[in-house]
Each structure stands twice: as structure tokens, then as C-alpha cells.
Structure 1
Amino acid sequence: MRIALLEDEHEQAQHIQAILAEKGHDCDSFATGQSFLGAVLHRSYDLIILDWQIPDMTGIDVLKNVRSQLNWSIPAVFLTQRDSEVDIVCALDAGADDYLSKPARAAELIARIHALARRSNPDSDKEVLVYGPFEVNTRQRVILLHGELLTLTDKDFDLTLFLFQNQGRLLTREMLLERVWGLARDINTRTVDTHMSRLRRRLGVNPENGFRIKTIYQRGYRLEAIRANETTETNEDRAANA
């Protein structure tokens, strides 16, 4: 997993990173709330770990920012010296999924992280994933729409699967370049936009099929499920699918 860590004490951050690295996880560490938010809101992480007391804001404020701006329930763990019942309740009410007290105990931290990962992605071990009329076979790497095989390239498949697995989440171009293309996030390219435009047509992503790919101005894209009573295309939908 790719994990973002908010920890202002350098030795603590190195200790946690070493624990995670031993189990094969990549962990980026940040010492301030602003630097952490700048990364999490524009890059692609599978889980975040938060300290409570940091120089520029509280971990609670950071988590609230993440929840409000991403509109996506990325798993979040608090790892902090504050361990009163009031503090734990406050963190959970703010949107934390788990709460651990310092010092970090390696086996417990890893077990909690793996448990959260399983809960946040219960379909990770399934061969066939169903999203409305779309059927995605992860082993054969094919996608069916209403039982009909779609003609897609390997990269189209990877992008489609990533969109479905992250539906409702704002995906920046940097995130998509990293996770689908494996490119450095500072590369300036229209690759994402070109593929997304083509994918809209090839997939038949429209309200009639229960989904739309929404363009978020100057930020990226979000795959949205459409409720049964939302069958009228917006001007944006018509333009995107033209």
C-alpha cells in the first residue's frame, strides 16, 4: 500500500516508516498539516496515518479537510500520545477509522492497517466485479456491458478498473498518471485527458448505464453513480460523450 504519514518528530517518522517498509508498504512522511494536505489531495494514497499535535494545525483539522475536500473515505488511523476517552471519541467523530497510542508497536500497527485495507476494499480478491450493467473480469482483463464484450486496450482496462474501484473519489491527473501509467507525478501531459475522452465513448459511460465520468475543472475526474431517477444527461455529459 501507499501510505501518507503526518508526524512532525523526525525519529518517530523514521521508526514508523521502517515498520511499514519491512512489510512492503511505501510511506511518505510529512511534518506539517499543510504539506500533508498538499500531497494527499493531489497524489494517490491507500491509507493515511495522523499525529494529533503538529506545528501548524491539529490532526483533527487535517482529517476534516481530507474528508470534506476528497469526498472519499480513505482509511485514516490516528497514532498519537493523546489516549483519553474524550480524545478517541473526538477523533472517531471527525472521521478516523482507528486510533492507536504511541509508541507504535510494530505488530499491532501492521495488523490494524491490514484490517482497514480489507474493510475498505472487500472486493480486492474477487475475480469478477459487477458495477451495475458493467462486469469486470480481473483475471481475463475484459469488461462486459449488458453482456457484450467491450473493445478496450490494456491501458483502457487499467484505467476503467481504477475508476470503478475509486468511484465517488476525485482523481487528479497526477494520481492517474502515478497509479495507471506509473509515471512521475510532475510530468505535464495530456495523456490522461485523451484516454478519458476515448474511454467515455468506448465504455458507454452515461446516465442510461448508471454512471458518468465528471470532469472537475483544473483538478481531474470523478466517476459517479447515477440514481435511477437521474436519467437526463446534463450539458456537460453530452459534451463529454460527443
Structure 2
Amino acid sequence: MGKKMASRIASLEDAPADAALIRQVITGAGHDCVTFAESRRLLLALRDAGFDLLLLDWQMPDLSGREVLAWVRTHLDRRIPVMFLTCREAELDIVNALAAGADDYMVKPVRPAELAARIDCLLRRAYPAQLAPLAPLRLGEYAFDCALRKVTCNGDPVSLTPKEFDLAVLLFRNEGRIVTRDHITAAVWGREISPLSRTIDTHVSRVRSKLGLQAGHGLRLTPVYTHGYRLERTDRPERTERAAA
């Protein structure tokens, strides 16, 4: 759990040469890249799949990147970083995009080293837990001591196996986001698991049962068909609290 995990990044870009360069930068930085040449295809994917960061071109043949941003900020977890990567360089465009919820704005042509650095900066800011995997974690009635590998619910200890603990921490650190099966496999097992294996589902079921992840505790763990799982609040109290180290 201590190693840095690859992030899954969506790139909205209809120019093949630019799309190829962006993909090269992202994969070269150790992340996964999924490219979309149409805004509507990206929106369809966002309804089901989880991405850690979105790169948006502004001028698209169907919906503009600005319209995609509006949809994302209305329907998805607002913690997901969004960066514009576009030819539009007017100061007013930049100001409007940032005011509408974009986290960063870069004018083409793509400068590979700068793009990689900006992506890394956004990911560090959005997911600080990946940089401090042993930091204590609190969410609702649950408290994880990641250094001692112990978890309590309302102060009562809950007994988890090592793999169950790693899986629970992964899900809790990504509350509100879809955690894909591939991400779970890499983070918890560090190796490939056969698609026919029930290992992930069995461990998820045990974590859900042992931690009582149901409406009564304010959290619900649900499957996302063909993709993975999502831990979500049922009462929407204040955001995750992380105890001081």
C-alpha cells in the first residue's frame, strides 16, 4: 500500500496528433490514459467508469469542453481535478474556465515536460493520501490507524485480515469515487487476478459485512456493474477527516 499507484486519466482531444502526444506524456509518467475524440463518448464513460483526472480540449465537434466541465462539476465528485488543454489563449477564456471549476489551464502547443509536471501537481493536490499512506484516516464512525493497521467503528475494534484491511483503506480513501477492479487488484494484491476469480468480490463482501457498510452507519458499499465498487455516504455528513499524524 506504500507504493505510488498509477492514476487513470481521461483525455478529451479530437486532433489525432495531439491525442497521441498527450497519451505518450501520460503513459510516460506511469499513468493510464483513455482518449476520447467526442465529448458525448466521454460523458457516457464518466457515468460508469472512474477517472482520477480529466484533460479537456475546449473546441470539440459536438459539446465544448466548457459544457463538459459544467456537467462534470454538476454530476461528479468535485474533488476530481480538471485541466483544460486548448488552443484558446484569451485571458477571458482562461478566467472563465477557472471560475467555472477548472483546476488548471494550459495553452497548446503541448509542452511535454510541463504537462507531466502539471498533471503530477494536480494529482498530488487531489490525492494527498497517496503520498502519506500511513496517515490516520477518519470517515464517519470509522477510524483507521494505518501505521498499526487497526480499524474501529464507534470506538469498537473490528478484526480484518491484512488483505481486507488494505481493501477497506483503499475504498475509504476513495469515498465517492469508483474504484475499478484493476485498481483494486494492483493496490491490494500487486498481481493479476483472473477475470473469472471471485477473490475481489469475496473480500469486498467480507469488508462490507465486518464493517457494517450499510445505511445505518452512514456509508454504503455498492458494486458498479463491470467496473468495480464505490463507497458512498448515505447521509452526506462533512467530508473525510484525517487525524493529525
Query: TM-score, normalised on structure 1?
Result: 0.75
Supply the RMSD in Å over aligned alpha carbons.
3.1
> Does the residue aligned with 2:180 lie in a helix, a strand or coil?
helix
Q: 2:219 aligns with which of 212, 215, 221?
A: 212
> Which string of whole-angstrom CA distances, capped at 9 and with x for unpartnered residues, describes residues 88-146 of structure 1?
12212332111110011122212211221121122331412233442223455442334
Quick check: 1:179 aligned with 2:183?
Answer: yes
Cα distance in 1 for partners of 2:8, 2:224 equals 26
Quick check: 1:223 aligned with 2:232?
Answer: yes
> Does the residue aligned with 1:13 lie in a helix, a strand or coil?
helix
Quick check: 1:130 aligned with 2:138?
Answer: yes
Instruction: Summarize the alignment of residues 5-20 of structure 1 with structure 2, pairs less than 5 Å apart.
Output: 5-20=11-26
Cα distance in 2 for partners of 1:79, 1:52 equals 7
Cα distance in 1 for partners of 2:38, 2:148 equals 44
AA aligned opposite 1:6: L
**1:31 matched residue in structure 2:** 37
**1:66 matched residue in structure 2:** 72
- Unmatched segments (≥5 aa) in structure 1: 229-242
Q: 1:119 aligns with which of 125, 129, 133?
A: 125
AA aligned opposite 1:74: I
Cα distance in 2 for partners of 1:111, 1:176 equals 25
The alpha-carbon distance between structure 1 residues 81 and 188, as it changes in their structure 2 partners (threshold 3 A), is farther
**1:165 matched residue in structure 2:** 173
Alpha-carbon contact 1:4-1:49 (below 8 Å) kept: yes
- Unmatched segments (≥5 aa) in structure 2: 1-6, 238-245
Query: TM-score, normalised on structure 2?
Result: 0.75
> Does the residue aligned with 1:168 lie in a helix, a strand or coil?
coil
**2:211 matched residue in structure 1:** 203
Cα distance in 1 for partners of 2:74, 2:40 equals 15
Alpha-carbon contact 1:158-1:180 (below 8 Å) kept: no
Aligned length: 221
| Percent sequence identity over aligned pairs | 40
Cα distance in 2 for partners of 1:137, 1:34 equals 42
Following TM superposition, by how much is the alpha carbon of 1:202 offset from its aligned partner in structure 2, in angstroms?
A: 1.0
Cα distance in 1 for partners of 2:61, 2:23 equals 20
> Does the residue aligned with 2:129 lie in a helix, a strand or coil?
coil
Cα distance in 2 for partners of 1:101, 1:50 equals 11
